[in-house]
Each structure stands twice: as C-alpha cells, then as structure tokens.
Chain A
Amino acid sequence: MAVVRGIARELLKNKVLYLMFLPVTAYFLVFNYYPMAGIVVAFKNLNYVDGMFGSPWAGWDNFDYFFRSGKAWLVTRNTFLYNLAFLAAYTFFSILVAVLIAEMAGKIFKKTAQTLMFLPYFLSWVAVAAIVYNLFNYEFGVVNSALKSLGVEPIDIYSEVRYWYFILPFIYVWKWVGFGSILYLSAIMGLDHSVNEAATIDGASAFQRIRYVTLPLLKPTMIILVLLGLGRIMRGEFDMFYQLIGNNGILMDGTDIIDTLVFRSLVLSPDFGMASAGGLYQSVLCFAIIMVANGLVKRYDRDYSLF
C-alpha cells in the first residue's frame, strides 16, 4: 500500500510531466506491448474470425510444422550467414573509407566523394531494386551489354542463385558504406591526435601510423558496433531481400530469410501457423542473442552497453 501511495505521490507531484509522457506510453503499449501478448498465437490454431485470443490452442503444432518443413534451418542459416557477410563487409569498407578520408588531403574531393557515397542511403529499396534490375537485366542490362561487347556470355542473375551470394553483400555495402564511413570518421575525429603526432615525429610512416596508432585506437568503437551488429544477426533486412528477390521461386532457397518467410506465410499464403511460429522463433532468438552480445559489450567497456 505504501508503494502505491508512493507512486501516486510521485505522479501527482510531476503530473504535467507524466502527462507529457502519456502519448509515447500509449503508442508503445498499443504498437509494441499488446502484440507481445499476441505471441500466444504461435501456440494456437489461428482462424481469423476468432482472432489471436479466441482461437483454439494447438500446443507446439505450429513449431512442429515449422521445423519439420525444413524451412526453419534453411532460413536460419541464410539469415545468419548473410547478416554475417553484411556486417563483415560493411565494417571493413566503412573503416577503410573512413581512415582514408581522415588521412587524405583535398577537401573538395573528400566532401564531394562523401556526398556521393551517402546518396544510396537515401534511396528506397524499391528504387534500388529497379536500378539493380536495370543493371543486371539479361536482355538489356548494362552489365550484360558490357559482357557481350567483350565477347563474354551474358549472365542471368535472376535464374541462378550463386551470383546473389556476392551481389547481396555488394549491394548492402553500396547502400550503407556512406553511412558507416561517416560513423567511423566521426569516431576517428574524436580520437586524441597527439599520439599520432608523436608517432610522426618519431619517424613512423603514414601506413605505420595507421596500423599501430589509429586502428588500435579505433578498436573500442569497432568492437562495440560489431557486437551490436551481431546482436541483430537474426533480424534480416526484409526490405532489401523482398525488393531485390521478390517472389522468385528459383532464388528462394538460397536467399530466403526468416523475415521474408514469415511475411510470405502471413500475407501471401496465408499460412498462419508457419508465420507465427517463425515470428516467435525469431523474436526469442534475437532476444537471447542481444542479451549475450550486450553481456560481452559490458565486459569490454561498461559505458557502451545498452543497459
């Protein structure tokens, strides 16, 4: 009772402030917390009429179905491996570009280049998919026109999966390197430059300086960002995959991720069992991985952990 009175007193004391927080409270309760309660739908045999809470229970049937269909392993593997590739490529190229820009001379060139590299970030994946189609189109794509003029056989990326193992990371980096390089560049700017100067005075070459001073100093930031990225490793880039691959059956086995599987099962089939089991599977997995990743970050540098 005393607790309740304590809460009431606090609310009354700062009532204007708590009222100001109300819209946000309402929003997240409705759009985030209420659906959390809806995870029960994964254990139910959903029919639309009875809805989430009225449908009959089905125990673990949906999960049975999800795992037994073989899809579970397939999409898990794809999601994990693609995200890993994305993270590695993104981190590597962002740092590379950031370091180069930090060291290079030529202000106008640097500014222009940064502006250009940042552009893909602003395009929606719809537009990017259109561009990719135009580039790689079998009949008139630029890539194939170039190949043909060199006497090489044109390639049809839309009917063979193997190209996508490279195309997808490439496009991911293309879209995000502008953003990432700004991130790492600002981290580099925030470093203490006196060590760099000391190294130069001591006769270190520029490359030595980068290798033995800048990069090690950048390591904390890099580790944090990589760990945070790993924490999201089971959350696929739905927009990207859905736009670029679409519903191409041939490519699906090699490029389907959890998110696209759940989406298709819900919207296109509709296969509520698969969708809800896959969805809960992903949410739980993500939660577990984030907790582990955050625990690791905490061990490294307490200040950077998410909580």
Chain B
Amino acid sequence: MGIRSRDVVALNAIGYAIVGLFALIAVVPFILVTVNSFSTEHSILYYGYSFIPKEFSLDAYEMVFRNPQKMLRAYGITLFVTAVGTVVSLFVSMMAAYVMFRKDVKYRNGLAFFLFFTTLFNGGLVPFYLMIVRDLHLKNHILVLLLCGMLSVFHILILRNFIGGSIPDALIESAKIDGAGDFRIFLRIVIPLSKPALAAIGMFTALGYWNDWWTPLMFIEKENLYTLQYTLYRILSSANFSTQIVNSIPRLDMPKESLKLALTVVATGPIVLLYPFVQKYFVSGITVGAVKG
C-alpha cells in the first residue's frame, strides 16, 4: 500500500506541475495583452510590457471608440456573415448528411465519395482565385464572405455519422408508413433529434467564420466589407491605417503600441467572453469525431 500511494503522489505532483505550466503558458500571453492595453503609451515605451501596469490609462480604448464607425461596421459585417453563414451551412450540411444516411438511397456511397474526393485533391489557389474573380465576379461582394468556407466535408460526414448513430431506422420507417414525405421527416424528426450535433458543428462553423481573415484578404478591397479580424490585421500591419481608423489629432503621448493591444482585445474579446459558455459544445464535437465511425 505504501509504495503504491507514493508513486500516485509523484504522478499527481508531475501532473500538476506540467498541466499547470501548460495552462499558464496558454493564458499568460493573453493576460499580458489585456493588462498592458490599459497602460499609458509612455509606460510601455519606457518600461516595456509588464504584468502590472505602471501607469493606468484608458487612452488606447478611448482612441478606439472615439471614431467607432469602422470598428462597428467590421463587427456588423462579421456578425452578419457568421450568423447567416452558420445557419445556412448547418441547414444545407444537415440535408446532405440526411440523404447520405438514408439506406434506401442507392447512390449514397457515390455521393459520399463525391464529397470526399475534394479532400484528397484540389486545384490549387490560382484556379480558385481566377474563378471567383473572373468567372463569378464575386470580388468585393458580401457573398464571397458567406460562400467561401461555408461547407466542410468533414462536418457533413460527422453529421451523417451522428444521425446514423442516434436515429433508429424504425423511426423513419414508421413515419413513412404514416405518410410523411422525406423532407417532412427531415424537418420534423431528424433536425430536432440532432440538436447536440448541430450545436457542436455549428460552433466550429461559427468560429471559422468569425476568425476568417483570409477571404477578405484575397477578395475584398472595399473598406465597408472588412471583417473584424481583417480589420485588426490591417491595423496591425500598417501604421497609417491605424491612425486613419482613429482619426484624431496627433498628441505627444499618442497610444500606438497600446492602441494595437486595445484593438486586439476588442477584436478577440467576444470570443474570450463567450468561450466558457460554449466550450462544452466544442469538446463534444471533438469527442464525437474521436470515436471510431
């Protein structure tokens, strides 16, 4: 008994040390950014970044919110694209998953392969870019933000497996005997019973939309269609843009470094705040994917 509890104690000690270290490393950078966004420009330039701000100030945030048009616009665009995109994506993906689940669909394996092949081979960036810009004329159009990345084969397959695992064929059969059409079965039976999967996949989709900065980078030049992360990127990578966005008279102690930090907090804040509440959906999504099937 004595030997066994000693090694269990040792294991726990190691566990606490390592896991604790990882947790710390995970969160410390973000804490630093947040804390220092509340300090004066002067203290950053003089003392460097620190854990406790030497001089507290709301200057950077004041600057961000003084002329909020661009930020608000970016927020609006991002919220719209995320909400609409996620809903449409879930609906369309779910329909496809349902069709592939139905055993009486003779070509369902062919359909699955049709989808699956796209994960094996793709045409590359150049044809994709040319198609969007030249053939579809989607440059600077809000549709490109919605459509790019809307559907994911893995999500559809996970949804299919979920339906297969949790909706008994007998249920579908009896509904058909009662005279329900396929679409009706889908709306009235499949969707309500798939809420957990929809929540999980929905979260991943929404996160993808929210963090997307690649699509605007490639296809958007009009400022009023910039998304949140793209706006952050523009500001961080160009000093000019950041002064444009805040549009104020230059002062001696003008927040520049702290401005970048404040912007980062504003752009990522919502996610960090929402995150504890939605975390469980992501975890369930990962565990569903981890189980063989």
Contact = CB atoms under 8 A, between A and B. Distances in A.
| Secondary structure type dominating chain A contacts | helix
B189 interface: no
B292 A145 contact: no
Given A24-B92, A115-B279, A103 B32 contact: no
Interface centre among B24, B128, B181, B267 (most CB of A within 10 A): B128
Given A115-B279, A131-B264, A287-B120, A110 B19 contact: yes
A130 interface: yes
B196 interface: no
B19 A100 contact: yes
B189 to A, nearest CB: 14
Contact of A31 (B18, B30, B147, B183): B147
B123 A36 contact: yes
B92 A101 contact: no
A126 B264 CA distance: 9
Contacts of A229: none
B269 to A, nearest CB: 10
B276 interface: yes
Contact of A126 (B12, B151, B236): B236
A139 B111 CA distance: 56
A38 B289 CA distance: 33
Interface residues of B, number: 104
Interface stretch (A69-77, A81-89, A160-168, A177-185): A177-185
A110 B14 CA distance: 13
A127 B268 contact: yes
B271 A303 contact: no
A283 B123 contact: yes
B241 interface: no
Interface string A109-148: 1101111111111111111011111110101111011001
B22 A23 contact: no
B7 A135 contact: no
B103 to A, nearest CB: 11
Contacts of B3: 205
Nearest to B8: A206
B4 interface: yes
A239 B214 contact: yes
Given A14-B104, A122-B207, A282-B124, 20 more contacts: A17-B102, A24-B93, A34-B123, A41-B126, A42-B124, A104-B15, A104-B19, A110-B19, A126-B230, A127-B232, A127-B267, A132-B29, A145-B47, A145-B48, A205-B3, A206-B4, A206-B7, A207-B7, A276-B127, A279-B127
- Ranked nearest first, the 5 interchain pairs of A and B with the lowest CB-CB distance are A38-B127, A279-B124, A35-B123, A145-B48, A124-B211
10 contacts: A10-B106, A20-B96, A21-B99, A115-B279, A120-B26, A122-B211, A123-B30, A134-B49, A266-B125, A282-B124
